[in-house]
Amino acid sequence: MPRRSGGSSTRSSSARSWSGWRTSSAPPRPRSNGRRSRSGPATRPRSPACSPGRTRSPSPRYWTGGSAGSIATWLADGATPKWVHDGKELQTALLSEGHSLDGVAFDTMLAGYLLDPAEANYPLAMLSERYLGLDLAQDEPEEAGQLFGDPAPRVGTEAAAIGLLAPAMAERVERAGLESLLAEVELPLSGVLGRMQAAGVALDVPYLQQMSESLGDRMATLERTIYDHAGEPFNLNSPPQLRVVLYEKLRLSPGRKTSKGALSTDADVLEKLRDHHPIVGAILDYRELTKLKSTYLDALPPLVSTRDHRIHTTYNQVGAATGRLSSVNPNLQNIPVRGETGRQIRRAFVPGDANRSLLVADYSQIELRVLAHLSGDEAMAEAFAAGKDFHAATAAKVFGVPLEQVDGAMRGRVKQINYGLPYGMNALGLASRIGIAPDEAEEFIESYFAQFPKVREFLNRQVGRAAAEGFTATILGRRRYLPELQSSNPRVRDMGRRMALNAPIQGTAADILKLAMIKVDATLASSGLDCTMVLTVHDELVFDVADADLERSEQLVKDAMESAYELSVPLRVDPGSGKNWSEAAPAGH
């Protein structure tokens, strides 16, 4: 099992310095004259790369100088295999300068992630120390930390380290059975994400500025309303002051306490008090507008590039143990999926010009379809195969009524359990979510499992298997290690149990989305259509497409995504299009 300590913050005292390797088995460093050329990229590389030989455990062939143009040709040559560390960022940097990267055969960062997905990041120095006992920092050149220092020695050292590290990590990847996942999913996806980062997406900045001003006026009105109800002004962002107003002055019934024993003013507590006094609703509305304004309306415009007037989010391919992607600058995953707030933010994301549209393609209930496949439950598979409303069809089975008699309350209850059980939700959790007694929730869960017995068997089997093997695995072999299951702390063990239930489901859904992105990218590249993949959030992909190619692009994307991986239940993709991200949302989303 991979080491769990992290290893990135503490340097091993036994780690060898780079000079020891350099005088013995190390290949020569790449040399660079640091000059720039009008015909190519700078010869002072931003990220290291080296090229392996033809044998299985090769001695790398290193770039030893030449013109900037020839370096660009070498990097773009798909026939020349290359070892890199963080090829995605190298690809993005090259594309921003009009060049590209092809032929990546191994990425030490991605290998580190697959071998031990629990880390937050995978710097080359940490991996070199962990797998080679090599201390890259010990002999770091004196000028390495200088702003205008020559980066060539550092990059040369890193490239040579990759040459030693890649074969050592490749053996571990092979022993863990992760070769296909690396070669067929993560490596090609790295190129796709690099191109998406470089492409970016257009943002309607005037709309955001106008909306920010409007929200500022609404917040000022709410602030005056809150002060009127309180009888005095106070700091709305101060929990202690808010606590005094709500629980001492207005004598509202307190909810739960914080970990430090103070009465809570969290949103979930205040939501239960909304109908008790008008000040509570005003406070909740004020908080929502404050977050919307500060997190998105005022934060997004400064992220727009002055070079191409587009926003370029950075995708985190590593860091999520389940295999899911995340993003920063901006964090797209934090944009609310439902509600008016999410719709308002999405209206700001627009196509490149008036003759283009945004195309959105969203997997429908992919995690539940994965659960039906992994569990082999025939009743659940039949509910999907019928092509009807899955939650309503499930409710009809659980409540024992015809489909046409299922009402909104029945559907809502079953929807909660459909999504809650794979995350380890128990009767108490269900009772809290849908407002029923725990005993009634327990009966409801039993009724659910009576209709889908193989789902219960699968979930129980997952926990036992994870405890025995120490990890869970997705359908493509992606592992999530769970030492939490061996903890002496009951709460930690319970957390491990929930992760054991959900990781194979969420991770398999993530794997399928990655396969879909790779397939869509390749299919679009050979189609001649003016359609570019620009965003991925949760289970959806977003494209910037010429209006003339919209209909054909929509069908191509839908077909590619639905055939990305064959499950025992059909994958379904809901497409939509419009002149902004909100308008493009598929019907019913």
Contact 226, 284 (CB under 8 A): no
Enumerate the CATH 1.10.150.20 domain ranges in the chain, comma separated: 367-505
pLDDT score at 126? 95
How far is the C-alpha of 577 from the C-alpha of 556, rounded, in Å?
14
pLDDT score at 220? 97
Under CATH, domain 367-505 is a member of which superfamily? 5' to 3' exonuclease, C-terminal subdomain (1.10.150.20)
Listed residue (589, 535, 588, 539) closest to 564, CA to CA? 539
Enumerate the CATH 3.30.420.10 domain ranges in the chain, comma separated: 16-199
- The fold for domain 205-302 equals Taq DNA Polymerase; Chain T, domain 4 (1.20.1060)
Give the right CATH number for 16-199 from 3.30.499.10, 3.20.20.70, 3.30.420.10, 3.60.15.10. 3.30.420.10
Q: 314-316 and 356-363 as β-strands: parallel, antiparallel, unpaired?
A: unpaired
Residue/partner pairs of 220-229 with CB below 8 Å, 24 or more apart: 222/282, 222/285, 222/286, 222/289, 223/286, 225/282, 226/279, 226/282, 226/283, 226/286, 229/277, 229/278, 229/279, 229/282
Q: What angle do CA 342, 347, 348 make, to 5 degrees?
A: 110
Mean pLDDT by 10 residues, the chain (589 residues): 40 46 38 33 48 45 65 90 94 92 96 94 95 79 57 81 95 96 98 96 96 95 96 94 93 79 85 91 94 92 94 94 93 80 90 98 96 95 85 89 91 90 87 87 91 93 94 95 94 94 95 98 97 96 98 98 96 97 84
Q: Which residues contact 582 (CB under 8 A, 6 or more apart)?
A: 342, 343, 344, 346, 347
Enumerate the CATH 1.20.1060.10 domain ranges in the chain, comma separated: 205-302
Listed residue (284, 304, 286) closest to 209, CA to CA? 304
Q: How far is CA 42 from CA 5, 99, 273, in A?
A: 38, 11, 61
How far is the C-alpha of 456 from the C-alpha of 450, rounded, in Å?
9
pLDDT score at 134? 87
Tokens standing for residue 23: 């005088």
DSSP-based three-state secondary structure for 507: helix
Strand residue runs (E) in 2-48: 16-17
Strand residue runs (E) in 384-474: 471-473
Partners of residue 390 on adjacent β-strands? none
